[in-house]
Amino acid sequence: MYMNELGVLFLIGAILVSIIVFYDIKNKKWKNIRDYIIIGFLAAIFDIIVEVIGTFNDLWTYNESIWFLFGTVPVELPLMFFMAGVLGKWIHGISKRVRYNLHLNLIFFSLTLIGIILYIRATVLLGINETLLLFSIPAGLWGLHIIKENVDKASVLSVALFVGILDYVAETLIIGAGSYGYAAGFKLTTPLNYFLLTIAAFGLMEKLEVLDNVMDYPIIKQVVSTVGIKREEYVRKIKRKINRY
């Protein structure tokens, strides 16, 4: 009997999960079994909801399966997500018992670099219209990680959100006026990319120790104060504390 790619992935996941479950049953770790079932079912149900919405609205289609749920969703998919949920819970449990030092800067940098390489490979070498989110997501996470103070994080997020909204409004008006358009149509990923890359840019400024100077620019101060973040008051308190010592 022919087995498609989804079936192969499900089979691999089922073998791994069977080994994990058998080991925990042998050691009478019933709480682990309970957690596996709960997390696995939640992952499977979430996948079914997403897949049904996507396939019923013709956002994507599947052509091969031993059986289709609701006529459109391969039964292998929720089963795979069930297995993935179990594996994820098992990995989480293992990681809590292992001591390690994660260098988040290196991880975010590596993910961003890999994303850039994959993006260039897809767009330049293969001619595929790939999304910038491949590297803008890890870059944005890196930027948020670099910024230490919570008030600075809130300020940067408010400015980045302003940039994203501004891009959305500007693009909508310009495309609506017929000035230009996108080959694949305007997508919300464009302002999302601006949002994430703005965070990454501010993270770089923090790394270069110029973030405080940039935050004092009038337009940025106006955006930050508009959303109710009292950054100036916070800075004054910090300075008073420093002067006491």
Query: Please, what's the b/e burial string for 53-70 (b: 16 or more CB within 10 A of its CB; e: otherwise)?
Result: eebeeeeeebeebeeebe
Each residue's pLDDT tens digit, 123-143: 666 666 667 777 788 888 888
How many angstroms from the chain centroid is the CA of residue 22?
Answer: 33
Q: Average pLDDT for residues 97-118, to the nearest whole number?
A: 69
pLDDT for res 11:
83
Q: In terms of residue numbers, what domain contains 13? A: 5-97
User: Does the pLDDT value for residue 235 go beyond 80?
Assistant: no
User: Does the pLDDT value for residue 181 go beyond 70?
Assistant: no
Each residue's pLDDT tens digit, 195-221: 888 888 888 888 777 766 666 667 666
User: Does the pLDDT value for residue 39 go beyond 60?
Assistant: yes
Both 46 and 157 in one domain: the answer is no
pLDDT for res 1:
43
Both 140 and 239 in one domain: the answer is yes
User: Does the pLDDT value for residue 27 go beyond 70?
Assistant: yes
13 confidence band (pLDDT: 50, 70, 90): confident
Do the beta carbons of residue 89 and residue 36 sit within 8 Å? Answer: yes
Which of 79, 97, 115 terminates a domain? The answer is: 97
- Give the β-pairing of 68-69 and 73-74: antiparallel
Indicate the pTM of the whole model.
0.54
pLDDT for res 128:
63
Both 60 and 141 in one domain: the answer is no
Both 127 and 239 in one domain: the answer is yes
Helices (H) and strands (E) in the chain, counts: 10, 2
Which of 43, 65, 97 terminates a domain? The answer is: 97
Q: Average pLDDT for residues 47-61, to the nearest whole number?
A: 81
Both 88 and 134 in one domain: the answer is no
User: Does the pLDDT value for residue 88 go beyond 50?
Assistant: yes
More confident residue, 114 or 237: 114
Do the beta carbons of residue 44 and residue 86 sit within 8 Å? Answer: no
Both 91 and 118 in one domain: the answer is no
Both 186 and 230 in one domain: the answer is yes
Which of 43, 62, 97 terminates a domain? The answer is: 97
Q: Average pLDDT for residues 183-191, to the nearest whole number?
A: 67
Both 115 and 235 in one domain: the answer is yes
Number of domains composing the chain: 2
186 confidence band (pLDDT: 50, 70, 90): low
% the chain with pLDDT above 70: 69
165 confidence band (pLDDT: 50, 70, 90): confident
Contacts of 68 (CB under 8 A, 6+ apart): 62, 74, 75
